[in-house]
Amino acid sequence: MTISPTAPSPTDQEQFQQWLSDGQLPMIQPSLQARSIKTAWQLLQAGVELANNTNFDAISIEDICAKAGTTVGGFYGRFQNKDAFFLALQKLVLLRSYERMNTLWRDTNHDDQPLFAVCALMVKSSVLRYRSHNGIFRTSLQRAHEGMWDAFKELGDETRTLLNNTLAPHLQHLSPAERKLRIEFAHQSMISVLSHAVQNAPSPVHLSDDTMIHELTHMLVAYLEKPPQHTSAQDQKR
């Protein structure tokens, strides 16, 4: 998916309708009627909320429909089964994540942005994404053996490319090789912390606590700004 410096800011439901029209949600049985789109949207929003508070495997289709205010027939009119429903939820998270990448690019692609501000935006965007869809991330991690985490790995690859382009100008004290390693390991560390948080609700800092944003930002900045490592002659040639 191409990352552009600018992106429209429609409402979530308008964006959802556009993604449906563009064929980016093929697991939803096609219908562009306004009522059908609204029902599909309500079902998906209900799924996100339920998954954030309950193990997804324990959620029934009846639970989803009751939360959305629709019928089981309405569910099967739009989704083949519960697995297709989860894939739609996951794809929505991915599409929203790419939109956030567009926003991050737009907001940080300025020469006068200090490193701390860039990292703060990156961390806040990531924490809010994991927080608002923690059930989808948790279930995807639990079902990684089924390939459910692969799409998020691809998202991570594209995010690292964006971060290399965005953060590298702020790390002129490092060689190009160490600069790249620092940026990519900083991203890896952040995702590891967030993935652990959605699965284990650890203390002292919970995902729902804004302290997570503050502490992660300071940790990453301190790591990125620290002096160069002593490198061997072979490393310096890379």
pLDDT value of position 112: 76
Mean of the pLDDT values across residues 204-217?
Answer: 94
Whether residue 3 is predicted with pLDDT greater than 70 in this model: the reply is no
pLDDT value of position 186: 96
More confident residue, 214 or 32: 214
Q: What is the pTM of this model?
A: 0.85
Q: With beta carbons less than 8 A apart as the criterion, state whether 105 and 162 touch.
A: yes
Residues 6+ apart with CB under 8 A from 119: 167, 217, 220, 221, 224
- 99-143: per-residue pLDDT in tens? 888 777 777 776 678 999 999 999 999 999 999 999 999 999 999
Token output for 177: 């090789």
- 70-89: per-residue pLDDT in tens? 999 999 999 999 999 999 99
- 150-207: per-residue pLDDT in tens? 989 998 888 898 889 889 999 999 999 999 999 999 999 999 999 999 999 877 899 9
More confident residue, 43 or 18: 43
Residue 193: closest CA among 118, 116, 137? 137
Q: With beta carbons less than 8 A apart as the criterion, state whether 104 and 162 touch.
A: yes
Cα–Cα distance between 40 and 74 in angstroms, integer?
A: 8
Whether residue 33 is predicted with pLDDT greater than 80 in this model: the reply is no
Cα–Cα distance between 185 and 194 in angstroms, integer?
A: 14
Q: With beta carbons less than 8 A apart as the criterion, state whether 128 and 96 touch.
A: no
Mean of the pLDDT values across residues 22-41?
Answer: 83
Cα–Cα distance between 125 and 179 in angstroms, integer?
A: 22
Cβ atoms < 10 Å from Cβ of 14: 11
Whether residue 56 is predicted with pLDDT greater than 60 in this model: the reply is yes
Crossing angle of helices 61-68 and 82-108, rounded to 10°: 60
